Amino acid sequence: MKKSLYLLTAVSLLAMALTGCGGAPSGGGNTPGGDGGDGGETGPTEPIATITYRSWDTGTEAQNNEERRLVKAFEEKENVKVNIVENPGSGSAYWDGIKASIFNNIDLADVMMVPNLDWPLASQYLKNIKEFTDADPDFAKIPASIRDACTVGNGIYAIPARMNLQGYFMNTTVVERDLRIDPSRISCRSEYSVIENIINKAATTAGVVGLDSPTHFIDTMASVYDTTGTMGYFTWDGSNYHLDSDPFIRGVQAAKDFFSSKKTLDAFDESDREALGLDPELDPKVDAWNKGKLALRYGYTYEIPNMLDSNSLGNSYKFIGNPGGKISIVGDYYGIYRDSPNAAIAYKFAKWMSFGMDGFKKRMELYQPVGSVNSLPLIDDEALVDEYFDKFGASSEMSGLEDAYSYIKTKSMVEGVKVVPGYLLARQNKKTGITIDEMQNIDMFNLLNQCVIGSADIATYADQINTLANKTYTDWIKQYGAYYGLTAE
């Protein structure tokens, strides 16, 4: 099998699991498989502890996917029984299952994948694991931006479970052949001007579009224009938003300029897309990318399998992150239940399933036959990282990720939706009291979109929405912060 770097999300894993992975089912019984006793006469030893695990990527017992086999490997290594509770659904539906189990005291999870930190923190369901992380030298090897995201007030309440990256993907074939730009000189370490140059050059080149959409500028461009280095995703600095700042306003205005001048694919109407040779029945971004009509596509590293599997033209691609700014990290997180009677073992298990060296090596072993793995290494261990890129990163079709991985040590930001309390309200659902055209009391998401693709001017509303966004956070702190040693200013 060709060795290509493939990264999958939990959703992708579930889809893959539905096809069936074969192998003997795991689970069942009261003792895990393992080293056994003293040769078979006394049988396997009793497990030293039993813990319960809930996640959305374990599939069913009959499917016995890679995640279940990784759990089984932990059982055998540590002589611990792990009860996997199937917890279907996603987002709020998944979380409802967790809440119901706690409320009814049924199948309580010692370790649970959480859809975000907001909900379990508000419910006070998560244990402060700082005693474990302080004593664990491996935790200190996790990128600082991720460790900071797991920290709330005076404690640490999450274990990073998976890591993918967000940024620009460049079709190096199109950029070199059609735009006459040298792609070898463009990387995550480049200045933002290289992005502008590609988009503008494509606008004067027949049959090519520079970028699929500029709406991600809302979340990422402040980090490009910010000279202080303090602004992260959606301007969050760890305690405040800065939506009234010049870097944020400039970023949204830059997006609006690209859209209004029809330099991005989402500004094309039906006739424009038809002239480009796109199928009206398909997603225009994906279709344009697959047909070699798109120079830059903004997305996530977990999309790489589809990008490469759909490459019928033999194009080469490169991940270049967010040139000029911070690379965005997109992750999943584990929490340990606050009343777990086996918290130390639960932490050890969660580490095995996430950032621990031994566990990640086993993860690579299990996923290597399918040529893919569902996370970048979460700890910066040279030997482990080298092994990972040797097994999964050797691809002439998709380069750049190894350089980006090195870059995140010093210049990265964590996507806010899973780690910032109140973020969903601040970024999407908060009603603004503002009327845009015929949209009354428009919410934050649509207001910000209208500032890019519609008639709204971000400069007019920046002060108002900044106040609203920060109020969502301070309201959360007023309600729940005392439990975590946080006070609203």
3-state helix, strand, coil split of the chain in percent (to 5) is 45, 15, 40
- Read off the tokens for 29: 């019984």
Residue 82, both tokens: 């792990």
Judge contact between 429 and 447, C-beta under 8 A: no
Q: Is residue 314 part of a domain?
A: yes
d(CA 447, CA 458): 9
Give the DSSP letter of residue 211: E
Tell me: do 314 and 366 sit in the same domain: no
Q: Is residue 400 part of a domain?
A: no
From residue 193, how far is each of 47, 196, 199, 228, 385 by CA, in Å? Answer: 59, 5, 10, 19, 31
Q: Name the residue among 86, 85, 72 with its Cα closest to residue 31.
A: 72
pTM above 0.75, yes or no: yes
Among the candidates 294, 328, 362, a domain finishes at 328
Residue 1 resides in a domain:
no
- State the chain's maximal CA–CA distance in angstroms: 79
Q: Phi, psi (5° rounding) for residue 162?
A: -140, 160
Token pair listed for 51: 């813990």
- What backbone phi and psi angles, to 5 degrees, belong to 292? 70, 35
d(Cα 215, Cα 236) in Å, to the nearest integer?
17
- Per-residue pLDDT tens digits for 179-221: 999 999 999 999 999 999 999 999 999 999 999 999 999 999 9
* 424 backbone dihedrals φ, ψ, rounded to 5°: -60, -40
In this structure, are 177 and 319 located in the same domain? yes
**Which residues constitute the domain of residue 191?**
165-328
Same domain, 182 and 310: yes
Structural domain ending residue among the three candidates 282, 301, 328: 328
Residues 19 and 103 in one domain: yes
Same domain flag for 340 and 322:
no
- Distance between CA atoms of residues 166 and 318, nearest Å: 13
Q: What is the pLDDT along the chain (489 residues), one digit of tens a residue?
A: 333 343 443 334 333 333 333 333 333 333 333 333 334 444 568 999 999 999 999 999 999 999 999 999 999 999 999 999 998 888 899 999 999 999 999 999 999 999 999 999 999 999 999 999 999 999 999 999 999 999 999 999 999 999 999 999 999 999 999 999 999 999 999 999 999 999 999 999 999 999 999 999 999 999 999 999 999 999 999 999 999 999 999 999 999 999 999 999 999 999 999 999 999 999 999 999 999 999 999 999 999 988 988 888 999 999 999 999 999 999 999 999 999 999 999 999 999 999 999 999 999 999 999 888 899 999 999 999 999 999 887 677 889 999 999 999 889 999 999 999 999 999 999 999 999 998 999 999 999 999 999 999 999 999 999 999 999 999 999 999 999 999 876
pLDDT at residue 477, as a whole number = 96
Lookup: tokens for 408 = 């995140």
Whether residue 489 is contained in a domain is answered as no
Is residue 151 located within the same domain as residue 181?
no
The full DSSP string for 48-64 is SEEEEEEESS---TTT-
Parallel/antiparallel/unpaired status of strands 398-399 and 151-152: unpaired
151, 172: one domain: no
Residue keyed to tokens 């996370």: 375
Query: Are 132 and 61 found together in one domain?
Result: yes
The CA distance from 380 to 441, in Å, is 46
Q: What is the pLDDT at residue 406?
A: 94
Tokens of 5: 């770097």
The Cα 469–Cα 456 span in angstroms is 18
Question: For residue 291, which of 266, 271, 274 has the smallest C-alpha distance?
Answer: 274
DSSP state of 431: B
State the pLDDT at residue 137: 97
| Position 202 in a domain | yes
Q: Is residue 407 part of a domain?
A: no
Asked whether residue 74 falls in the same domain as residue 181, the answer is no
The answer on 196 and 139 residing in a single domain is no
Residue/partner pairs of 381-389 with CB below 8 Å, 24 or more apart: 381/141, 381/357, 384/357, 384/360, 387/361, 388/360, 388/364, 389/5
Q: Tell me whether residue 409 is in a domain.
A: no
| 293 in a structural domain | yes
**What's the CATH code of the domain at 372?**
3.40.190.10
Helix residue ranges, H only, 334-412: 343-352, 357-367, 382-392, 401-407
pLDDT in tens, 128-161: 999 999 999 999 999 999 999 999 999 999 999 9
How far apart, in whole angstroms, are the C-alpha atoms of residue 19 and residue 335? 29
| Dihedral sign, Cα of residue 447, residue 451, residue 456, residue 459 | positive
How far is 232 from 189, CA to CA, in rounded Å? 17
Cα(84)–Cα(28) distance, integer angstroms: 10
CA atoms within 13 A on the CB side of 155: 20
Q: Which pLDDT score, from 0 to 100, does residue 43 have?
A: 52
Q: Give the residue among 469, 423, 467 at the shortest CA–CA distance from 122.
A: 423
Q: What is the pLDDT of residue 20?
A: 32
Selection from 148, 143, 142, 100 nearest residue 125 by Cα: 100
Q: What domain count does the chain have?
A: 3
- Tell me the backbone φ, ψ of residue 92, rounded to 5 degrees: -65, -35
Q: Are residues 140 and 200 in the same domain?
A: no
Distance CA 114, CA 222 (A): 28
Single-letter amino acid, residue 28: G
Check whether residue 151 and residue 261 sit in a common domain. Answer: no
pLDDT at residue 453, rounded to an integer: 97
In whole angstroms, give the CA distance from residue 158 to residue 149: 8
Tell me the pairing of strands 111-114 and 327-336.
Answer: antiparallel
Length reported for the chain: 489
